[in-house]
Amino acid sequence: MNVITSILDKRFKTEDEEIENTYEDKFVSHLEISFPYSFNEEFFKWFDFKEWDKLKGVFKEMKRRRGNGKAIKIELNFAGDPDIIFMIQSDQSQWFKMEVEKIDFVVELLPYHLEPDKIPEGVKKVIYNFNQETARWKINSVYTNNEVFVNSEKGWKLTT
pLDDT tens for each residue of 99-155: 999 999 999 999 999 999 999 999 999 999 999 999 999 999 999 999 999 999 899
Measured in degrees and rounded to the nearest 5, phi and psi for residue 118 equal: -105, -15
pLDDT higher than 80, residue 53: yes
Q: What is the pTM of this model?
A: 0.88
3-state secondary structure labels for all residues of 41-89: HHHHHHHCHHHHHHHHHHHHHHHHHHCCCCCEEEEEEECCCCEEEEEEC
Which neighbouring-strand residues pair with 87? Answer: 75, 129
Omega cis (within 30) before 82:
yes
Q: How far apart are CA 46 and CA 63, in angstroms?
A: 27
Candidates 70, 83, 80, 74; CA nearest to 129 is 74
